């Protein structure tokens, strides 16, 4: 039986993971004023970041269409799909519609769409878990059960060192943003159980915020030795390495560091960090 993993382009991967996982990524489109970016392997991240910084206007993203997903479902007997939280985007609904369309044509095919209830490395970890289950030759229904439980247990935090995108896109009010900038406040955010975003703590100063993030992870009380720590960053490799070092004592099973592509960079902006485990 041939298997395939499909994900939207919020699933951030490094070169090693791309080679090992063979995830088929379906790109978002990002629009900033008159500039459009396709969030695929050819995206110019430096240009995207500079364009975001130069624009005072909201940044718009368009999720893949059902047709975009359906094209990726064709060439495998069993297809496992991972999307960004359905509370943040329409990608999950597009993937579901594509599944229904495909199953009308090919009833023998197996397609399951996972709502990661996360983004970026939350999707990455979900895809890694799917791959592990496939390699163990689990039946499709067991893969679904194991991965859904994995998503239930997963935790995701992020820090936007630059709040301007959150302000422009209305996730932080202009007044709150002004106060935060004046006081150098860096909110630590997390994914909720249903896949929304909420503020955990507001810390003065970037270094203190990242140190506090490490403390919150350490305090979460999970079995770290059974989990992979995944860190994505937007133009902030040293911060990612610092967090890895701060958490070295927790003895995670493995640590994965990736650089964000377009959509994740829109959420956390230049200098931002996302952590999932």
In this prediction, residues 238-261 reach a mean pLDDT of 97
CA distances from 160 to 59, 105, 186 (A): 15, 44, 7
Query: What distance, in Å, lies between the first and last C-alpha atoms of the chain?
Result: 30
Q: What CA–CA distances, in Å, run from 270 to 21, 50, 73, 159, 277?
A: 27, 9, 34, 11, 22
DSSP conformation letters of 73-113? HTT-SEEEEEES-TTT-SHHHHHHHHHHHHHHH-TT-EEEE
The domains of the chain are located at 3-153, 156-276
Q: What is the mean pLDDT of residues 223-252?
A: 96
Q: DSSP 3-state assignment of 10?
A: coil
Q: So what's the pLDDT on residue 180?
A: 67
Task: Read off the pLDDT of each residue in 22-39 and give the average, rounded to a whole number.
Answer: 97
Q: What is the dihedral of CA 36, 40, 46, 49, to 10 degrees?
A: 60
Q: Are 49 and 42 in contact (CB under 8 A)?
A: no
**pLDDT band with cut points at 50, 70 and 90 for residue 86:** very high
Can you give the C-alpha Rg of the chain in angstroms? 18
pLDDT value at residue 66: 98
152-190 pLDDT, tens digit each: 999 999 999 888 887 787 766 666 766 667 778 899 999
For residues 238 and 258, what is the distance between their CA atoms, to the nearest angstrom?
12
b/e map 45-59, b = 16+ CB within 10 Å: beebbebbeebeeeb
Chain segment 180-217, per-residue pLDDT in tens = 677 788 999 999 999 999 989 999 999 999 999 999 99
Task: State the DSSP H helix or E strand holding residue 4, giving kind and residue range, or none if neither.
Answer: strand 3-8
What confidence tens digit (pLDDT) does each residue in 137-161 have? 999 999 999 999 999 999 999 999 8
CATH class of 3-153: alpha beta
Q: Which pLDDT does position 167 carry in this prediction?
A: 77
pLDDT > 90 in the chain, percent: 88
3-153 and 156-276 agree in CATH topology: no
Question: For the chain, what is the mean pLDDT?
Answer: 94
Fold designation for 156-276: Hypothetical Protein Tm841; Chain: A;domain 3 (3.30.1180)
Helix (H) or strand (E) run with residue 25 in it: strand 24-26
Contact 245, 141 (CB under 8 A): no
Residue with tokens 């090919």: 106
Single pTM value for the model: 0.94
Cβ pair 55, 48 in contact under 8 A: no
């Amino acid at each position: 039986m041939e298997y395939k993993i499909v994900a939207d382009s919020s699933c951030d991967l490094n070169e090693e993971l791309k080679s090992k996982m063979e995830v088929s990524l379906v790109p978002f489109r990002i629009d900033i004023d008159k500039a459009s970016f396709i969030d695929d392997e050819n995206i110019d991240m430096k240009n995207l970041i500079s364009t975001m910084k130069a624009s005072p206007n909201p940044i718009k993203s368009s999720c893949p269409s059902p047709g975009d997903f359906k094209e990726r479902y064709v060439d495998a007997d069993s297809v496992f799909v991972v999307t960004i939280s359905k509370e943040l985007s329409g990608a999950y609904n597009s993937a579901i519609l594509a599944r229904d369309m495909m199953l009308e044509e090919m009833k023998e095919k197996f397609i399951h769409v996972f709502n990661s209830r996360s983004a970026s490395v939350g999707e990455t970890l979900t895809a890694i878990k799917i791959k592990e289950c496939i390699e163990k030759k689990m039946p499709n229904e067991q893969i679904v059960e194991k991965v859904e439980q994995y998503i239930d247990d997963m935790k995701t935090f992020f820090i936007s060192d630059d709040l301007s995108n959150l302000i422009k896109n209305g996730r932080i009010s202009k007044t709150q943003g002004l106060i935060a900038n004046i006081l150098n406040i860096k909110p630590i955010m997390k994914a909720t159980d249903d896949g929304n975003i909420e503020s955990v703590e507001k810390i003065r100063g970037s270094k203190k915020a990242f140190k506090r993030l490490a403390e919150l992870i350490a305090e979460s009380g999970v079995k770290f030795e059974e989990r992979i720590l995944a860190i994505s960053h937007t133009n902030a490799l040293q911060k990612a390495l610092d967090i890895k070092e701060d958490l070295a004592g927790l003895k995670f099973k493995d640590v994965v560091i990736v650089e964000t592509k377009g959509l994740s960079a829109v959420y956390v902006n230049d200098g931002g960090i996302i952590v999932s485990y």
